[in-house]
Homo-oligomer: A and B are copies of this chain.
Amino acid sequence: MAREFLARGYDATTMEHLAAAAGMTKSSIYHHVSSKEQLLQLAVSRALDALFAVLEEPPSTQGPAVDRLQHVVRRSAEVLDAQLPYVSLLLRIRGNTPVEREALDRRREFDARLSALVQSAIDQGGIRADLDPRLVTRLLFGMVNSVAEWYRPGGSTAAAEIADAVVTLALDGLRRTSD
């Protein structure tokens, strides 16, 4: 259903479209879900649950903050690969309905936890202290999320290569130092 919402836009998608995509009649789909909005909630919750689950993984909670940050950045890129239509839908949410506003609240909570992790990494001396942690969080996840605009699972660039490149670029930068 996420693909239907993405292809047509949420407003233009009807329960008939969603039923047809699921191989059901319009009356049978109502045995499973009560509304289009409930389907949107299921879809964006799938993306949000996967992202919050990353924060509970042991490498996200143990060890130096810079290593935890690196793990979260890498795993977020992997979630984007594994849950692409759901993450893409989440990234388009603008807050027009209660379901969308709740999703935006959870996105903000996720951003706040990442921002706190960036701050911890600064405090521990693991990452540079001359950049604003909220700005760093936005740029880091702006980079990760931008992958949703062009990435196609099974295409020429593998998910693991993207995750590696994001982590290398973000943590170590492009500039070649004397080596």
Contact = CB atoms under 8 A, between A and B. Distances in A.
Contacts of A165: 131-132, 135-136, 139
B170 A174 contact: yes
B131 A169 contact: yes
A57 B60 CA distance: 44
Interface in A114-161: 121, 125-132, 135-136, 138-143, 145-147, 149-150, 157, 161
A162 interface: yes
Contact of A174 (B127, B147, B176): B127
A66 interface: yes
Given A126-B176, A173-B173, 9 more contacts: A66-B174, A128-B175, A129-B176, A131-B165, A132-B157, A139-B147, A139-B165, A140-B169, A142-B149
